[in-house]
A and B are shown apart, each in its own frame.
Chain A
Amino acid sequence: MNLFGDPTVWLPFTFAALMGVSILVYVVLDGFDLGVGVLFPFATDAEKDIMVASIGPFWDANETWLVLAIGLLLVAFPTAHGTILTALYLPVAIMLIGLILRGVAFEFRVKAPTPHKATWNWLFFAGSLMTSLAQGFMLGKYVMGLEGTLGTWAFAAITAVFLTVAYSMIGACWLILKTETELQAKAVTWAKGGIWGLILGLGAVSLATPLVSPRIFDKWFSAPEIFLLAPLPILSAVMVLLLWRSLQRLPNVTDKGSRAPFTYAILLYILAFCGLAYSFYPYVVPEQLTIYEAASAPESLMIILVGAIFVIPMIGGYTALAYWVFKGKAAELRYD
């Protein structure tokens, strides 16, 4: 089918876009529930139950976006999948162990005998922390072109911390939206305390990417691109300000504006993601492999795309249904 021109051009691009959207959705959705896990040690035992209740019906579907993203990388860009994942062997293993621990701790903490609950709470925190740090580390290594030098490791260690703080910040924003009274007030404090992670993280990645790669430097800092792209950093700065101001108005008696911090945090994530996507396009493995070189056979991509066109709107629809059913402030989770 040559409806849109050469399928070896538009199919890889479409799949790169789909994969990008999945990663973005994953980072926002699992970002907030990982963040809630990272914030666990700051909460009382009763608050921990509410925190888990606020993410309980969603976390499973949130993690499925990671499976979709990695699945798209696997099916659409098989060569890149192998190169990237073998280069990130250890952080991937740490992330997976973290995901295992936190995923099962959700269930065990309420089903195991009561004396064991503290242990599972701790494992839930530890798993969330391991996952967030590992993802931040992978982001850092990817930005540095997947090289194994000492500088790369140091930079990746820094992004690991920043991403974890950024996750806990969006997690706190989610809690502001879903909780009330003392816990909500605490969440406001946590969110304020987490903004620096977001700013420094954004700053570090924005500075490092053009410095590491002359190609990316040229993409950003030559005329006329520099003017066309200027709205991106400016908007990000505006979002940070708006986020800060919305937090200062919370908590309040009518709960007015409790949705605002989460909304601004999502917008910030989107802006940051667009910046990264622009920098790295058309490469899927930085400076080594473009999406066009790494793509699977067009006939295989086509058959997935046909399914995706029907299925992805349905996924969107019933995900929205789930968020609607469990809308409002979090209540105790019960099977009856």
Chain B
Amino acid sequence: MDTLMLSRIQFGANISFHILFPTITIALGWVLLFFKLRYNATGNVRWMEAYRFWVKVFALSFAMGVVSGITMSFQFGTNWPGFMETVGNIAGPLLAYEVMTAFFLEAVFLGIMLFGFSRVPGWLHTLATFLVAFGTTMSAFWILVLNSWMHTPQGFEMRDGVAYATNWFEIIFNPSMPYRLIHMLLASGLTVAFLIAGLSAFRWLLGDRSNSVRVTLKTGVFMGALLIPMQIFMGDMHGLNTLEYQPQKVAAMEGNWETQSNVPLLLFAIPDEEARENRMEVGIPNMASIILKHKADGVVPGLNDFVAEDGTVMHPPVAPVFWSFRIMVGTGFAMLLLSWAASYLMLRRKRGPEGVPKMMMFAMVPMAFSGWVATLAGWYTTEIGRQPWLVQGVLTTETAVADVPAPFVGTTLAAYLAIYALLLAAYIGVLFFLARKAVDGDLPRPRTPLSGQAIAREIPAE
């Protein structure tokens, strides 16, 4: 493989690994704040137990997110120098604002949030929890502004092949930003909802009947049931926005080759780019036209419109986009089914978790990671769907890649992949280990006697 393909795989692998963890921390920060506020309001210790368990998951996820994020800030330079050379005047300030307004906020207050409960007044601990949650969300905001700008760039002019900002308001509030940001924040909420429900169900199946596992199970299931319809609606809005600004991506998502009316919604197909047609199509007649144009004879753009006179293909590779999209939507509907059924059973005659059959509890455990699957599939749809462009209509991926020997990229790629596989296994293993430990009663240990000055610093718990 050449440097371009290896660099793309490397960046894809890094960013895929990275996004798993912010997806958890963005929403988990707010859930922790909810637990803390419930504890402040009710004084009920089950909320603090829930907080203590999930703050460990937060700390672990945060560390994974930080270290994989640092990797990416370097890879802009090591693998994609053309990106910053061409659009650095726009991407630069957005990234700088992310570091300044988000990274320091979350990193500094994380220490107080994790280890400060007995050292600082209760209000400061709650404030630290809020600031960490706020910081992660700000970080998501800036990075999605930049990402959206790469899909729907505006507010700039090109001079000698370099982009110069002309209107920062237009850059920040570019056409796809509100849709993408809300879609991602909801994805984060759903990931966390199903993670909490799944790990709580795991504890339940191991015989944990504590009050804290009851509240977390309910929190997870209800949160999922509430967010999933919002997400399906938002996803549809986002799709319509994409149809307006990146029709070639929607054409690939639908597997639609010719611009035509009465386009079916394909449930299954094997897109063949050589023959420029689909094999083994199974579809619902007219449905794609109805979804995208709200009428059965609506005209949907086709992929063949995006082939230049000389045969250069200017649309994304079809099969990966087509399939990632279906995996995302399929996972979304599985989430809908599970969370609504479980909510109904828990609310019926107020039976709570006892009302949920064992089979459904078993189903929740693997669904703990359904948010990851859907999020990755969604990002593959939108990012592969932007190819061959890096910045839509401005810069192609090919021109931005670094002139680094392919063996260098290949070796480092192999090293990254090995480490990511190891860390992912360790992460998932530790989540279940922590859950198992909580079942056995993770009672607060007696404090180890500390010598001299260290003990003088210990302030009694609030």
Contact = CB atoms under 8 A, between A and B. Distances in A.
A58 interface: yes
Interface in B58-93: 59-60, 62-64, 66-71, 73-74, 76-78, 81-82, 84-85, 88-93
Contacts of B97: 304, 307
A174 to B, nearest CB: 15
Contacts of B373: none
Interface string B106-130: 0111111011111110000000000
Interface stretch (A98-106, A158-166, A277-285): A98-106
B63 A89 contact: no
Instruction: Indicate the size class of the contact surface on chain A.
Output: 35 or more
Interface string B443-462: 01001101111111110010
A5 B218 CA distance: 62
A300 B92 contact: yes
A296 B89 CA distance: 6
Given A299-B164, A325-B112, A329-B454, A60 B63 contact: yes
Interface in A287-336: 296-297, 299-300, 303-304, 307-308, 311-312, 315, 318-319, 321-322, 325-336
Contacts of A180: 451-454
A83 B85 CA distance: 11
A56 B112 CA distance: 11
Given A297-B164, A304-B93, A312 B100 contact: yes
Interface string A69-90: 0111111101101111110111
B99 A71 contact: yes
Instruction: Indicate the size class of the contact surface on chain B.
Output: 35 or more
B93 A303 contact: yes
Contacts of B76: 74, 81
A144 to B, nearest CB: 19
A68 B99 contact: yes
A250 B59 CA distance: 36
Contact of B78 (A92, A255, A336): A92
Nearest to A86: B402
9 contacts: A64-B99, A75-B84, A90-B412, A96-B71, A100-B419, A104-B423, A300-B93, A327-B457, A331-B457
Interface of B: 52, 55-56, 59-60, 62-64, 66-71, 73-74, 76-78, 81-82, 84-85, 88-93, 95-97, 99-101, 103-105, 107-112, 114-120, 162, 164-165, 168, 402-404, 408, 412, 415-416, 419, 423, 426, 429-430, 433-434, 444, 447-448, 450-458, 461
Interface of A: 56-58, 60-61, 63-64, 66-68, 70-76, 78-79, 81-86, 88-90, 92-93, 96-97, 99-101, 103-104, 106-108, 111-113, 180-181, 255, 296-297, 299-300, 303-304, 307-308, 311-312, 315, 318-319, 321-322, 325-336
